[in-house]
Amino acid sequence: MSVPFLDVQDLEQRFHSPAGTVHAVNGVSFTIRPGEAVGLVGESGSGKSTVAKCLVRLQEPSGGKILLHGKDVTHIGDGEFRSLRNTIQMVFQDPTMSLNPRLSVLQTLAEPLNVHRIVERNQVKDRVIHLMDQVNLDRGLINRRPHELSGGQKQRVGIARAIATEPVFVIFDEPTSSLDMSIRIQIITLIRRLQAELGMAYLFISHDLSTVRYLCSRVLVMYLGQVVEEGPVEEIFNNPKHPYTQALLSAVPIPDPGMRATRKRIVLPGETPHLHTPIIGCPLADRCAFVEPSHRTGRIPMIEIGPGGHRVACLLYENGANPSIAPLPFHRAEPSAAGGQP
Amino acid sequence: MIQSTTATAPRARIESLSIAFPNEAGDRLIPVVRDVSFTVNRNEIIGLVGESGSGKTQTSLAILGLTRPPGRVTGGHIYVGDDDVVGMNEAGLRKIRGRKAAMIFQSPRTSLNPLMKIGDQIARVYMRHRGMDKATAARESLAMLRKVGIAGPERVAGSYPHQLSGGMAQRVMIGMMVACGPELLIADEPTTGLDVTIQAQIFELITEVQAETYMSVLLITHDLGVVAETCHRVAVMQKGRMVEIGPVGEIFNRPVHPYTRRLLGAMLRPDRPPGDIVPGESPSDTNSFTVGDRSLAAVSVDAWKELAVSVPEMVEFAPGHAVLAHPIRPAGSKVIA
Amino acid sequence: MASTIQDIQAAQPVFEGRLFSALDSVDLADGELSHRRRRPYSAIVGFKVLGLIVLLAIFGPLLTDFSPTKPDTSAILTGPSSTHWMGTDQYGRDVFTRVVHAARLDLRIAVSITALSLVCGSLVGGLIGFYGGWIELITMRVIDVLVAFPGFILALGITAMLGNTTQNVIIAVAIAYFPYFVRITRGEMLSLREAEFAAAATTVGVKRLRIMFYHLLPNALPPALVQATLTLGWGILDAAGLSFLGVGIRPPTAEWGVLVGDGAQYINSGEWWISVFPGLMILLAVLAFNLCGDWVRDRLERR
């Protein structure tokens, strides 16, 4: 069991707006071990992007701690954090916006190499070519600017930029949301291959659950700024325990017409509220069918509920209870062993 | 498996539609939709699937005469009911829009008038298309808001579009469109940018409304999951061409065209543990088959030039299932140059 | 039935024997030109006129033997002729010679004013837009004060204060245009600051100052460059205006505004050529700069 190199403890982020204080992140804790592929899922308002921004120090959190290799980096100076940036990198959602429109591929990829002095100046171009090969980017594109590249090519540049400094940890913030279907699959397989080759840990943030299932070994589910469930990917997808996770999974469309008649959709009434008051108790309380008065007070603890560190923040499971509160979302009403037919 | 009823006249009939846009310099005309033909039947939801550049959006805009100049329809006919929309003047189009066919777009908040309250906007539709007076229209608006699943319809009716969430705004759009009472609803990626739980609700709403009113729905999407769960039939477009069309079960289980097969093969399913995808191998560009005594090959559009194919035609592979394919002559026969 | 690529290729070609290929684009016949295509006629005219003026400035003085400043009492107030193409003024000086010498000066003034205000203004605007804070607040209030005065009056006051030399005229007019560059660049910087590629550069580890200068400022410049093309033309007008009023460049230095001023008193008595020719040159120069500026703006906006 390797020691976690990233330890996030009770992370909090508050935004002040005229309408009130928004608790975008409200006490999030998790760890990531070297080489681990972790997925972070949640809908709008869940706070997942804010967590990512805090991890790369695009924002400073209002509370909690972030520990890298055991060292508290939450509030260290900008300069000091900059020296750590070669170990944590990020791939952004929209490749069109995240690349400087005036810089060529060579210039964009050379920058991290130069900033962190990864190689000697005269070897930079060779290293850039090597990076392009790694992400399957045609070498002939090296002097092109972003507007001369396709969406998939631009995103490959974004990925190449992130791995240029050989980081230990990469955060992918919805990297395929703006891409076409067939390109999406190429990028996803690229990410998987790179992870196998380079052994980096990554945090894959996405609302596309199929991709998360393919790429990640562990999943965190967020709702309204808190982690409501976490665990091994197969546990979460086959055995979701939190009512929100169940609703989320039941809403994901399955590309199989044969399953149409048998899916049971779990509907959460209302919509994700916009937060302007701090939440006390369970964030899902107003929409959950199983809510009790005791769920609305205090902080909901994470309860171990399954193998491999499957934990859920839900009082329905306290004291060893394990009520079967919903039919398994992907399966027919009578769960079958194989779980759906081809 | 829900089948569409084709017993009565189709709601829309698109025949050999071609649309083209001039390039930047203005000296060449670039086709974006080429020779597309299909029908939208009564009481069905038909999905139109394709990637960017497939021409799916342009096809649907043309149905309502919304092709934006300098692009134009360069050939074919679009019959909405009995009238050919191609070449129709504004007056004629205005009669069709709203009554015969209506459209909802990707970002509902930009389709709504930002300066008018929601209730007033819906009421206006009732007054204009159903001839109601102000008081009746206001009542019907509230009823419509409730019907599309908005809790607290009075509050929403008194709000402005920017005060609504994306999901709510889209429900309002659907409400407004249904108020028009169209026979055909075109929905262009109506849930882009919406959360997956909201997306599920929106599609449930569309399905419900369709079942109640027998309205036909042309649903443009890139999400095969949505197609599988919502549509009765699906049409696949590639690079301006319609390459395959058929009942959803048929297409998903027995795809014939190489492009359709590529799309389906590259799909990730949320309900299955991941196998290994092998996109490294270049997927096959051709798929040959026989129909009766004819040999045909379906070829991916981006390989047409390279393989120098002959004129393609839509061939009926199975009942209701058609594929764009090219005739093959048996090897050794003469070629008339 | 086996099929190979050869079989498909051997398939009977149709359509006049030409094998069919997908999505050929088609040449538009001449009668079908789309409304977007147009040749930039105005820009061509602008560049040609500008080119002419520049050539005149460089080579003009070689075309004449006359001195721009030495009086010649034998040829006072003569009209345009074959020896004096633009006539002579009240001191017998050849107007054409003075006009072309003035061209050099005026072009130099235009470029200097624009360069000075563009560089200083963009720098200040970029810096305060990026860093914000109280420096931004104070600077913007100073800018507000400067902008409260009509540019010409401001330049007038500054020249009067500093003394009327060519250099001071340049500085004064540059100060009048400086606030616009600050505002434009600051505005661009405010939105660029939030751009995702700026965030990306931060995560890569680029220092803030470098992000400002290397990533953001070059992207903030296009609108400033558009303003610069306008400043080229208006700068000449302002400088000429100041000289005409006697506050700017002084005679006998040949500058178009000075030349117009020289001939002002003779318009009524009929010796129109002393003012009209230099006035025409001002007109052409400003027009040319504006037309070229339009073209630059079109190109930048299309990106």
Q: Residue B228: enclosing H or E segment and its boundaries?
A: helix B224-230
**pLDDT value for A258:** 85
The bridge status of strand A201-206 relative to strand A169-173 is parallel
- Contact (Cβ atoms closer than 8 angstroms) between residue B159 and residue B117: yes
Report d(CA C14, CA C3) in Å as an integer: 19
User: How many CB atoms neighbour CB A124 within 10 A?
Assistant: 17
Is the pLDDT confidence value at A149 over 60?
Answer: yes
Q: In what order do the strands lie in the sheet with A303-306?
A: A88-91, A169-173, A201-206, A37-41, A218-223, A226-232, A310-312, A303-306
**pLDDT value for C25:** 54
**pLDDT value for A342:** 36
Write the pLDDT tens digit of every residue in C226-271: 889 889 989 989 998 898 888 888 888 888 888 888 888 888 888 8
Residue A58 with chain C: CB contacts under 8 Å: 199, 202-203
Is the pLDDT confidence value at B231 over 50?
Answer: yes
- Contact (Cβ atoms closer than 8 angstroms) between residue A108 and residue A99: yes
Is the pLDDT confidence value at C167 over 50?
Answer: yes
Write the pLDDT tens digit of every residue in A316-339: 888 887 777 776 666 543 333 333
Chains that touch B (3 or more CB pairs under 8 A): A, C
| A interface residues, B as partner, C-beta within 8 Å | 43-44, 180-182, 185-186, 188-189, 207, 209-211, 213-214, 234, 237, 247-260, 263, 265, 267-272, 330-331, 339-340
- Average of pLDDT values for C4-11? 46
**pLDDT value for A339:** 36
Q: Do B330 and C4 touch (CB under 8 A)?
A: no
Is the pLDDT confidence value at B40 over 60?
Answer: yes
Q: Do A56 and C219 touch (CB under 8 A)?
A: no
Q: Please state which of the ranges B198-202, C38-42, C106-110 shows the lowest mean pLDDT.
A: C38-42
**pLDDT value for C12:** 38
Cβ neighbors of A206 (< 8 A, separation 6 or more) are: A39, A40, A41, A172, A174, A175, A176, A177, A212
Report d(CA C25, CA B30) in Å as an integer: 5
- Average of pLDDT values for C281-286? 90
**pLDDT value for B331:** 53
Choose between A84 and B237: higher pLDDT.
B237
**pLDDT value for C67:** 79
- The answer, for B165 touching chain C at a CB cutoff of 8 Å, is no
Report d(CA A229, CA A240) in Å as an integer: 8
Cβ neighbors of A341 (< 8 A, separation 6 or more) are: A258
Suggest the residue from A55, A111, A163, A173 to mutate for an interface test with chain C (most C CBs closer than 10 A).
A111
HEC per residue, C127-171: HHHHHCHHHHHHHHHHHHHHHHCCHHHHHHHHHHHHCCCHHHHHH
**pLDDT value for B283:** 62
Predicted TM-score of the model (pTM): 0.82
- Where residue C175 falls among pLDDT bands split at 50, 70, 90? very high
Place of tokens 């096959």: B284
- Average of pLDDT values for B126-130? 84
Q: How far apart are the two ends of chain B, measured CA to CA in Å?
A: 48
Q: Residue B154: enclosing H or E segment and its boundaries?
A: helix B153-157
- Average of pLDDT values for B234-258? 93
Write the pLDDT tens digit of every residue in C66-115: 777 778 778 788 888 887 888 888 888 888 888 888 888 899 999 999 99
Is the pLDDT confidence value at C3 over 70?
Answer: no
What's the mean pLDDT when you consider all of chain B?
Answer: 85
Write the pLDDT tens digit of every residue in C186-242: 999 999 998 999 999 999 999 989 999 999 988 898 889 988 988 998 998 999 889
**pLDDT value for C24:** 54
Residue B69 with chain C: CB contacts under 8 Å: 35
DSSP one-letter string for C27-79: EPPGGG--TT----HHHHHHHHHHHHHHHHHHHHHHH--S-SS---GGGTT--
Write the pLDDT tens digit of every residue in C48-79: 888 888 888 888 877 777 777 778 778 788 88
- Average of pLDDT values for C271-277? 85
**pLDDT value for C125:** 94
| Secondary structure of residue B157 in the 3-state scheme | helix
* Best-predicted range by mean pLDDT (A3-17, A213-227, B4-18, C44-58): A213-227
Residue B267 with chain A: CB contacts under 8 Å: 255
Q: Show the CA angle centred on residue A314, arms to residues A312 and A318, nearest 5°.
A: 95
**pLDDT value for A331:** 53
The architecture in CATH of the region B1-100+182-267+278-283 reads 3-Layer(aba) Sandwich (3.40)
Share of chain A above pLDDT 90, in %: 45
**pLDDT value for A315:** 86
Report d(CA A41, CA A214) in Å as an integer: 13
Report d(CA B141, CA B147) in Å as an integer: 10
Report d(CA B251, CA B208) in Å as an integer: 24
Is the pLDDT confidence value at C6 over 80?
Answer: no
User: How many CB atoms neighbour CB C251 within 10 A?
Assistant: 14
Q: Give the number of A-C residue pairs with CB atoms closer than 8 Å.
A: 56
Residue C195 with chain A: CB contacts under 8 Å: 97
Is the pLDDT confidence value at B305 over 80?
Answer: no
**pLDDT value for C23:** 44
Q: Find the closest chain C residue to A85 by CA distance.
A: C205
* DSSP 3-state percent helix, strand, coil across chain B (nearest 5): 35, 30, 40
Q: How far apart are the two ends of chain A, measured CA to CA in Å?
A: 37
**pLDDT value for A334:** 38
Is the pLDDT confidence value at B146 over 50?
Answer: yes
**pLDDT value for A329:** 61
Q: Show the CA angle centred on residue A226, arms to residues A221 and A230, nearest 5°.
A: 35
- Where residue A7 falls among pLDDT bands split at 50, 70, 90? very high
The bridge status of strand A37-41 relative to strand A218-223 is parallel
Suggest the residue from C197, C207, C225 to mutate for an interface test with chain A (most A CBs closer than 10 A).
C197
Q: Omega into B283 within 30° of 0, i.e. cis?
A: no
Written as one letter, the residue type at A254 is I
Burial B144-178 (b: 16+ CB within 10 A, else e): bbebbbbeebeebbebebeebbbbbbbbbbbbbbb
Distances (CA, A) of C70 to B52, C97, C101: 73, 11, 13
Report CA torsion sign: A137, A139, A143, A149: negative
Report d(CA C125, CA C130) in Å as an integer: 8
Burial A243-275 (b: 16+ CB within 10 A, else e): bbbbbbbbbbbbbbbbbbeebeebebeebbeeb
Report d(CA A66, CA B16) in Å as an integer: 61
Residue C203 with chain A: CB contacts under 8 Å: 56, 58, 85, 88-90
Q: Find the closest chain A residue to B52 by CA distance.
A: A180
- The answer, for C204 touching chain A at a CB cutoff of 8 Å, is yes
Place of tokens 């004129």: B311
Is the pLDDT confidence value at A70 over 60?
Answer: yes
**pLDDT value for B27:** 74
- Contact (Cβ atoms closer than 8 angstroms) between residue A201 and residue A33: yes
What's the mean pLDDT when you consider all of chain A?
Answer: 87
- The domains found in chain C, sorted by start residue, are 39-64+84-302 (1.10.3720.10)
Report d(CA C148, CA C141) in Å as an integer: 11
Residue B25 with chain C: CB contacts under 8 Å: 37
Is the pLDDT confidence value at C27 over 70?
Answer: no
| Cα C106 to the center of its chain, rounded Å | 13
| CB nearest A182 (choices: B197, B266, B280) | B266
- Show me where the domains of chain A are located: 6-216, 240-320
Share of chain C above pLDDT 90, in %: 29
Choose between C143 and C266: higher pLDDT.
C143
**CB burial class (10 A; 0-12, 13-18, 19+) of residue C49?**
middle
> What totals of helices (H) and strands (E) does chain C contain, helices first?
11, 1
Choose between A297 and B236: higher pLDDT.
B236
Report d(CA B165, CA A249) in Å as an integer: 22
| CB nearest A112 (choices: C205, C208, C218) | C205
**pLDDT value for C197:** 92
- Show me where the domains of chain B are located: 1-100+182-267+278-283, 115-175
| Cα B222 to the center of its chain, rounded Å | 10
Q: Which fold has domain A6-216?
A: Rossmann fold (3.40.50)
**pLDDT value for B334:** 46
Is the pLDDT confidence value at A39 over 50?
Answer: yes
**pLDDT value for B72:** 86
Is the pLDDT confidence value at C30 over 50?
Answer: no
